[in-house]
Amino acid sequence: MRMRTRIVLAGITVAAVAVIGAAVYRARTAGHAEVRAITERLAAAMATGDRAALAADPTLQGHPGTVDWLVERGPALAAGYRVSVQRNGANGYQLMDLDVVSHVGRIEMPAGAISLGFWRDPDGGGLKFVTAAGSTVAAPHEGPGGGQLRVGPE
Q: What is the pLDDT along the chain (154 residues), one digit of tens a residue?
A: 687 787 877 777 776 665 565 445 444 545 789 999 999 999 999 999 999 999 999 999 999 999 999 999 999 998 899 999 999 988 888 888 888 999 999 999 998 899 999 998 877 768 899 999 998 776 554 444 433 333 434 3
| Residues 105/37, Cβ–Cβ less than 8 Å | no
Looking at residue 3, its pLDDT comes to 79
* Beta pairing partners, 111: none
CB-based contacts of 139: which residues, under 8 Å, 6+ apart?
147
Looking at residue 43, its pLDDT comes to 95
| Residues 43/73, Cβ–Cβ less than 8 Å | no
Q: For the chain, what is the radius of gyration of the CA atoms?
A: 22
Residue type, position 88, single letter: N
